[in-house]
Structure 1
């Protein structure tokens, strides 16, 4: 039988020791073990027992030795058909799978890359939503200001109302951005009634806001 690897021997000793029971322990049937407190496991067990290797290196070793991972709400449960509580003779069968080294390492790199990409996409999404909200508020303020000016103009110069405001209506109707429909709709309703019936009325080309 093959000699028990140092990494596997240390891991087994940790699980058999009561000193680290609060951080990592066998499950009830002894066919797997569970890491309870990952942060403490990383700070205490990894530092004291595994010569301060990184937690990523520990995960990679588990993968290389053929352990199966099962996550449970922030916990990590590992199992191996030959890594069982009380069966010391079978520990020598837990060997590194050299053929899967590159595959395992590549999977971790791909996973990290995907996490970084997802984080960047989230940041871009937040930035886009913030900018959209700002534009919406600006459009709302402008619409209200224009409405106030139009009301004032209509009261002070009613004889020029239809003639002078026609160009404003053209711009509002032709260039109204899609996301600002709700804020500009009241202003559009104020102006459209009679001027839309004019024969010389035209609308400029719609601008794309998509």
Structure 2
């Protein structure tokens, strides 16, 4: 579905290619009409900013919000499990879900990265996609509220993702917002001073989300599903 894929693209690290694709993204969202007119109108501020702002401003804003700020991380399980080992099993289960639909991705991509999750949902039937997204909708709505408090145009984008989940969103307990401002680098550094967590055999997270200036979201590579 185009809307899931379009929102996934908008949540990725901004590149010149993304900026050039803004008109196509806007057209896809309006054509499919899965989002309400009010939500589409709210997204215009973000689309306009992406299309007109300097690329270095876009990059810096994205990194300060989503890579430097732990409470705004786009890794979904960060907000549910924090640094507990329960997060590792959740990662394994989500990766297995992807693979059961014939998707594969490199070991450097964490399965709970929201743009990757939306990319996966875009290949599913709408009802199934909404059912999976409902499991994360409470997290996404909280992220939207946190971004709203920081007066970020990305708030409307997370609200749009939550709207796609429909009315059956799960209610889960989340890690509290640290309320650290994106430009308060001292406070952000302190928030990241925690031990690494292991996600499955030989795969460890060592704070790689903290300074991902060079990291780009790579779309999952589709491979034919194994025959039953």
Under a length normalisation based on structure 1, what TM-score does the superposition of the two structures give? 0.23
Under a length normalisation based on structure 2, what TM-score does the superposition of the two structures give? 0.22
More helix by share: 1
- Whose radius of gyration is greater, 1 or 2? 1
Bigger RCO of structures 1 and 2 (CA < 8 A, at least 6 apart): 2
